[in-house]
């Protein structure tokens, strides 16, 4: 069975030019489930992003430790697509796996790492750090 992130990587590899890849990135963002208005709070807002980005996590018990499910949104189309990729990579995974995952390898493989503005790259790092902070908090709470 192919995971969501594997499907996204395969789709990116089929696209030859960057206009198509950006369109696909925007489509990924549009496919995100609606983000509840009541969760658009200062606490859920990711600091360090030029665009507005909201991320929330819910932890559940699992034999492997806490498992986190993430939801997110952004007010910018391309950034919303980046959120969709991060959710495909991290959501519904054990916190330990989240801490070990290497998003840089994924973004390099699909070629986005070299095609993001410095501002978007900084925002992406802020989103990853937020996701990892939630995983660390879930692991600490489970201990």
Residues carrying an active site annotation: 49
Mapping DSSP to helix (H, G, I), strand (E, B) and coil, where does residue 6 land? helix
Query: At which residue do the structure tokens 């489930």 appear?
Result: 33
Distance of alpha carbon 78 from alpha carbon 98, whole angstroms: 23
Residues contacting 60, CB < 8 A, separation 6+? 66, 67, 69
Query: How many C-alpha atoms does 14 have within 13 Å on its Cβ side?
Result: 7
- What are the beta bridge partners of residue 74? 53
d(CA 62, CA 78): 33
């Amino acid at each position: 069975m192919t995971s969501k992130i594997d499907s996204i990587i395969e789709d990116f590899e089929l696209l030859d030019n960057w206009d198509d890849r950006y369109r696909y990135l925007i489509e990924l963002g549009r496919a995100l489930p609606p983000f509840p208005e009541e969760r658009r709070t200062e606490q859920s807002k990711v600091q360090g992003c030029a665009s507005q980005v909201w991320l929330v996590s819910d932890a559940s018990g699992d034999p492997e430790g806490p498992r986190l499910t993430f939801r997110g949104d952004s007010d910018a189309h391309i950034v919303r697509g980046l959120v969709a990729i991060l959710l495909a990579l991290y959501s519904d995974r054990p916190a330990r796996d989240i801490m070990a995952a290497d998003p840089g390898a994924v973004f390099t493989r699909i070629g986005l790492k070299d095609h993001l503005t410095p501002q978007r790259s900084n925002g992406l790092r802020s989103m990853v750090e937020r996701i990892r902070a939630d995983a660390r908090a879930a692991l600490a709470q489970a201990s």
